[in-house]
Amino acid sequence: MYDLLVVGAGPYGLSIAAHAAAAGLRVRVFGRPMAFWRDHMPRGMLLTSPPWASDLSDPQGRWRLDVFRAFRGLTGGDAEPVPLEVFTGYGLWFARNAVPGTDERTVTRVAPRTGGFEAVTEDGETYTARTVALAVGLLPFAELPAALRGLPPALVSHSSRHARLDRFRDRDVTVLGGGQGALETAALLAEQGTRVRLLVRADRLRWERPWRRPPWSPGRRGRWYAERPGLYRRLPERARSRIAARALGPAGSWWVRERVEHRVEVLYGREVAGAREVPGGLRLETAVRRGGSAVLETGHVIAATGFRPALGRLRPLSPELRALLATGTGGAPEVGPEFESSYPGLFLAGPVTALCFGPAARFLHGVPFTADTLVRGVRRRLRTGPAGWPLPPAHDDGSPEALPR
């Protein structure tokens, strides 16, 4: 039986595993390292997070992004965005050096059992552990507008589904959204010769200013939320929900602005009210913010419409386990001060915890706090154990397994 199973091998999962291994825990990590970044982000993308806020986390701080760049002889300073290919390479390097191996199989089911949990892999093998950390990232929470749900994937897709955009070369594509994902997707499409337009609900686009170190998030409030996740969690749920809805709203990075303005058609104040399939693509009915409606036809819609973390989308959790978890506003699961869910021994990490710990949990900036705090919670849980846990199982030689101090 493992002390900790980590489900997910992205920045959060790998960092949790690094901290757990350094603490002497018997840990196993499931998932293809950096899969979201390798398989679901378009080639040519640049990270929104600045370099100094893009580190994965190990307790000694040995395996930082700047160390990787120096090791590989890569150029680029704090004022330049990090290319996707550099970041994925860094994540794989971190996994090889800071994590005691990863099992690339997908976990399809996590369920409670006497003494902890069992996890079943895609090929039917079962593993047991006293605690589980679920770090599944953003992909399960991709959100499509209601008017587009149920349409064929050949005509409608979420922006997180495209590692390559060249299939849209010389085609007509409409991108929904006014945030970084929408703006950069539109820029990349335009640069490869796609006829592309943006549909934006707002009356204008918002652009972030060039970074200043050390704060990375815009505005005083944004900095406060990002730098004090432990205090943020102590705010009343009502206040947290309001802040989560407003903080770090849709905006584009300063370095993508010149790639969009005067190069991509932008239709402001538009929202898709209906859509139907027509020969060659889709006919979109759009509601105009200032009154009226408009119709346009397009070959494909890419919805860069964000992510909505909700308990029902945590598919690895068995139905009986999901039913035991407390949720907050919007259906996201609640977690305690050390990222433990309402079910003892089950920990959650990453964007699904943003309601409790603030907007930083949606970004790489939240990785160090999460990894350190969560593993501290795991160690506490291993020492105490929830009510009903039996004594630790014995080794094959009959001697009891020791719990970590």
Q: How many CB atoms lie within 10 A of CB 1?
A: 16
For the domain 143-208+251-303, what is the CATH code? Answer: 3.50.50.60
The confidence score (pLDDT) of residue 376 equals 97
Structure tokens that stand for 280 in this block: 């060659």
Residue of higher predicted confidence among 72 and 400: 72
Q: How confident is the model at residue 76 (pLDDT cuts 50, 70, 90)?
A: confident
Q: What integer is the mean pLDDT of 21-27?
A: 97
Tell me how crowded residue 341 is: count the other CB atoms within 10 A of its CB.
Answer: 25
Asked whether residue 340 carries a pLDDT value surpassing 50, the answer given is: yes
- How much is the average pLDDT of 68-92? 91
Provide the pLDDT for residue 396.
41
Cα-Cα-Cα-Cα torsion 352, 354, 359, 361, nearest 10 degrees, comes to -60
Query: By percentage, how much of the chain surpasses pLDDT 90?
Result: 69
Q: Which CATH class is domain 2-140+308-384?
A: alpha beta
pLDDT reported for residue 226 = 64
User: Does the fold of domain 143-208+251-303 match that of domain 2-140+308-384?
Assistant: yes
Residue extents of the structural domains in the chain: 2-140+308-384, 143-208+251-303
Q: Is the pLDDT of residue 213 over 90?
A: no
Q: Are strands 293-298 and 195-199 parallel, antiparallel or unpaired?
A: unpaired
Instruction: Output the 3-class SS for the chain.
Output: CEEEEEECCCHHHHHHHHHHHHCCCCEEEECCCCHHHHHCCCCCCECCCCHHHCCCCCCCCCCCHHHHHHHHCCCCCCCCCCEHHHHHHHHHHHHHHHCCCCECCCEEEEEEECCEEEEEECCCCEEEEEEEEECCCCHHHECCCHHHCCCCCCCEEEHHHCCCCHHHCCCEEEEECCCHHHHHHHHHHHHCCCEEEEECCCCCCCECCCCCCCCCCCHHHHHHHHHCHHHHCCCCHHHHHHHHHHCCCCCECHHHHHHHCCCCEEECCEEEEEEEEECCEEEEEEEECCCCEEEEEECEEEECCCECCCHHHCCCECHHHHCCCCECHHHCECCCCCCECCCCCEEECCHHHHHHHCHHHHCHHHHHHHHHHHHHHHHHHHHHCCCCCCCCCECCCCCECCCCC
Distance of alpha carbon 198 from alpha carbon 228, whole angstroms: 35
| Closest residue by Cα to residue 381 from 349, 336, 351, 350 | 336
What is the C-alpha separation between 184 and 169, in angstroms, rounded? Answer: 16
- Residue 183 contacts residue 260 (beta carbons within 8 Å): yes
The closest of 270, 239, 207 to 48, measured between CA atoms, is 207
Tokens for 15? 């960092």
Tens of pLDDT along 366-402?
Answer: 999 999 999 999 999 999 876 445 434 434 433 334 3
Would you place residue 298 in the very low, low, confident or very high pLDDT band (cuts 50, 70, 90)? very high
